[in-house]
Amino acid sequence: MERSVEYLQLLAKSFPSIAAASTEIINLEAILNLPKGTEHFVTDIHGEYDAFDYVLRSASGVIQQKIDAVFGNELSADDKRTLSALISYPEAKLRAIKADNDNLDEWYKVTLMRMIAVLTRVASRYTRSKVRKALPKDYAYIIEELMHETRGTFISKHNYLQAIIDTIVSTGRASHFITAIADVTRDLVIDQLHIIGDIYDRGPGAHRIMDMLCNYRDFDIQWGNHDVVWMGAASGSAACVANVIRNSLKYADMSTLEDGYGINLLLSQMHKAIAVIQFKIEAEVIARHPEFKMDHRLMLDKIDFHKGTVICNGQEYKLRDTNLPTVDPKDPYKLTPAEQNVINRLVHSFTNSKALARHMECLFAHGSLYLVHNNNLLYHGSVPLNEDGTFASLEIQGVEYKGRELFDVLEKMVRTAYFSTDNDELKEYGKDLFWYLWCGPVSPPFDKKSMATFERYFIADTSTHVEEKGNYYRLKNRRDICEMILQEFGITDMEHAHIINGHIPVKAASGESPIKADGRLLVIDGGFSKVYHEQTGIAGYTLIYNSHGMRLVRHHPFESIQQSIAQGMDVIASTQVVEYTENQILVRDTDKGKRIMARVEDLKALLQAYRTGLIRN
């Protein structure tokens, strides 16, 4: 009782009267009956900034749908495409229109009214308070007035409304208003954004994506293996640094390193050299951690330089390249002084890049290895499994962990590795775990038997290049397995429960479906990265979860911003309904609703305390 009274006294500071508490209850009860906000899920962006930017700006086709809902057949298809492009890319589209329009003032007046109508439709699912907070400060009052009057049919106020529009145009502010309205519309269309891993590597714009996300209103990230290797590099893991450099060189993607984070390599012939450095440093990590069970990745000591062969998985293979001058056959994993100097300088560059640190702190603040949200379980790769479908375990500091506990302890350890300043032992252990999360066989974001880096570089026989997937990928199509995983993470209501992950691209071109295990699992990696377009046949998925259910949007390859603006190109290939509900999902049905209802109960207790004199107001 004492604790309850103490809590109510703290609550009373925010709501110091019966009237204040009652007003808040009324407000919260009203919010509970609004439609559920729209969630967008994307994964495996892999540095494709322009394509990802388009997906957000178009809200994966939702803006076009809102335009269709408002105007129906009232507007032509060209007018609708123009309006959609204007909302998605207001500045660029305005430039194009100004260069090709003889009656700009009249166009402004018509367009402003159309954009207000779309914004009014989008804002209808939110409280006026939330919409007001989203409006730009300088124009908030006028936009709100226009929205309010557009909703009604007050013919008597037509002149008032027209006067506002005329004045906006005559004062030369029309372009500013159009841009402001477009920005608010885009902001409100997506209520919450989920990034299910792998922002980094392959494409050139990961740093630009992170700049965008770090300024985004409401988002979360479930770390992928390509994210954690960058996080490990920023924490000072030499093994992760070597892998990041090698990946960047492999995909000819130096812009994130050099332009984004100011890490200049000046080593144009470094590709093979950094791979060798990587193998040597990884051997040190493997030696420190026999519990990782990764001795099979030690390859340099299995080279026969006289025969030009290497023993891999018990078989002898011919090497395609035996020119490894820094590898001493007597001590193959010893770094030369020059190699040690290179890796020391690189680690220093990664740990001292302010831009990289800002992005990593954003990843930690908004990210995790998994998320349970609105009866959905989100993770990038897998939940590691044994052959029989039971949870696979990993030894961490002498203790075996599996299932949800494994995720939790891994996340705790890598956070310690990045943020700790007073526990060197835990920090070093966590740095090694970052590397394990990148490529370890029981790593949730990776979950393959091994990473065939050495084989791809040095063995011509392509049969050795195959990276065997973990048991999860063989068992994930089973409904019972997916429901076991959902229950492990605390989800018991199976009627509308889903696992949502990425990591392994869905080969849509071959007929593979992203919907698996009778709808319990949604694998939404459709190949944002250009290197996957040929095998997937598409350019990514967006999963959209709104008040009417779930649907998957398939994307065509994104060509350019200029083409999208000039030709009204739409990269939405098709839409597939995953789940539909006739009874609209309300805020009260969501996790947010549960928190609001708990708040309402607290406020009702405060009202009772006021009325009984337990707390004086």
pLDDT tens for each residue of 474-517: 999 999 999 999 999 999 999 899 999 999 899 988 899 999 99
Q: Determine the pLDDT at residue 517.
A: 96
Strand partners, 574: 554
| Residues 274 and 248 placed together within one structural domain of the fold | yes
Residue 73 lies in a domain: yes
Tell how far CA 616 is from the center of its chain: 47
Q: Domain limits at 606?
A: 2-33+600-612
| Residues 245 and 385 placed together within one structural domain of the fold | yes
- What is the band of 555 on the pLDDT scale with cuts at 50, 70, 90? confident
- What is the band of 536 on the pLDDT scale with cuts at 50, 70, 90? confident
| Residues 254 and 395 placed together within one structural domain of the fold | yes
How many structural domains comprise the chain?
A: 3
| Residues 218 and 161 placed together within one structural domain of the fold | no
| Residues 78 and 21 placed together within one structural domain of the fold | no
Residue 198 lies in a domain: no
C-alpha to C-alpha distance for 554 and 510, rounded to whole angstroms: 15
Q: Determine the pLDDT at residue 268.
A: 47
Q: Pick the last residue of a domain from 129, 160, 189.
A: 189
| Residues 108 and 15 placed together within one structural domain of the fold | no
Tokens of 404: 């949800």
If we measure between CA atoms, which residue out of 444, 414, 438 comes closest to residue 428? 414
Residue 283 clears pLDDT 80, i.e. is over it: yes
Mean pLDDT: which of 260-264, 489-493, 564-568 is highest? Answer: 489-493
pLDDT tens string 384-397: 999 999 999 999 99
Q: Pick the last residue of a domain from 429, 464, 499.
A: 464
Residue 1 clears pLDDT 60, i.e. is over it: no
Rounded percentage of the chain residues whose pLDDT exceeds 90: 71
C-alpha to C-alpha distance for 556 and 574, rounded to whole angstroms: 9
Residue 554 lies in a domain: no
- What is the band of 102 on the pLDDT scale with cuts at 50, 70, 90? confident
| Residues 261 and 170 placed together within one structural domain of the fold | no
Residue 324 lies in a domain: yes
Q: At what angle do helices 140-151 and 174-189 cross, to 10 degrees?
A: 70
| Residues 213 and 182 placed together within one structural domain of the fold | no
| Residues 25 and 105 placed together within one structural domain of the fold | no
pLDDT tens string 136-187: 888 888 888 888 766 555 455 677 888 899 999 999 999 999 999 999 999 9
Say if CB 240 and CB 225 are below 8 A apart: no
Burial of 141 (0-12, 13-18, 19+ CB in 10 A): exposed
C-alpha to C-alpha distance for 28 and 498, rounded to whole angstroms: 28
Residue 428 lies in a domain: yes
Q: Determine the pLDDT at residue 571.
A: 61
> What's the pTM value of the predicted model, to 2 decimals?
0.93
Say if CB 299 and CB 309 are below 8 A apart: no
- What is the band of 319 on the pLDDT scale with cuts at 50, 70, 90? very high
| Residues 214 and 182 placed together within one structural domain of the fold | no
Residue 201 lies in a domain: no
Residue 75 lies in a domain: yes
Exposure string over 597-606, b if 16+ CB within 10 A, otherwise e? eeebebbebb
| Residues 7 and 78 placed together within one structural domain of the fold | no
Rounded percentage of the chain residues whose pLDDT exceeds 70: 95
The mean of the pLDDT values for the chain is 91
250-256 contact pairs (CB < 8 A, 24+): 251/201, 251/202, 251/203, 251/531, 253/47, 253/201, 253/202, 253/203, 253/204, 255/204, 255/205, 255/207, 256/47, 256/200, 256/204, 256/205, 256/206, 256/207
**Residues shown for the chain:** 617
| Residues 146 and 273 placed together within one structural domain of the fold | no
Instruction: Name the helix (H) or strand (E) containing 304.
Output: strand 303-304
Q: Pick the last residue of a domain from 464, 481, 500.
A: 464
Residue 473 lies in a domain: no
